[in-house]
Amino acid sequence: MPDDATSRQHSERPAVFLDRDGVLIEDIDLLTKREEVRLLPGVSQALQMLQQSGYLLIVVSNQTVISRGLATEAEVGKINQHIQDLIEKSGGPRLDAFYVCPHHPKATLPAYRTICDCRKPEPGLFLRAAREHCIDLKRSFTVGDRITDIIAGYKSGGRTILVETGRHMDAPIETATPLDSSIKADAVCASLADAAEWILRNR
């Protein structure tokens, strides 16, 4: 009989971890309203292709609008639900989960002013998703538009793709500790659609 570790490995599924702003939707600085949401071209089709190929689809997003007091966690949740609705209306799949970090080391609201393990570039939300959804992190991929997404994906143990549909040219976001400049994406793609094709060629 197989041991517990082998059985667990066989039951685990790979995932694609997706940043939200700049990967799924247009990156509008400090997005707080549903009417500001715009899906990027080809997103629904790319997600459908990945899901049909056996990947769980997990959104992992830093949302400083919460720590700044511009939106509540519940309001961000409603925006995420709106994004899900738009994806499905345009022929895409239901995503498996949204994970949000509301913290910032210099948050306006004291309740969110902390150095946490869930704000990318830290991999806390990836590890939580892996526990809750039985994910094989080594067979998983991260798609993001910032180096902090790439570092978080690298720290989680999977491969990473930087897409050029968001703010990949911007200066890195503020972090509690210096970023490791030696960490690079495994691939650079023009869009999520191109990233999906790269994943399926290199899984």
Which residues are tagged catalytic? Answer: 19, 21
Contact 95, 51 (CB under 8 A): no
* Angstrom distances, CA of residue 66 to CA of 60, 88, 114, 127, 128: 15, 26, 13, 22, 20
Q: How far apart are CA 199 and CA 203, in angstroms?
A: 6
What the block records as the tokens of 132 is 């809750």
Structure tokens at 116: 């946490």
- Tell me whether strands 141-144 and 56-62 are parallel, antiparallel or unpaired: unpaired
Sequence-distant (≥ 6) Cβ neighbours of residue 199 within 8 angstroms: 16, 50, 55, 141, 161
Contacts of residue 86, defined as CB under 8 A and 6 or more positions apart, other chains included, come to: 37, 39
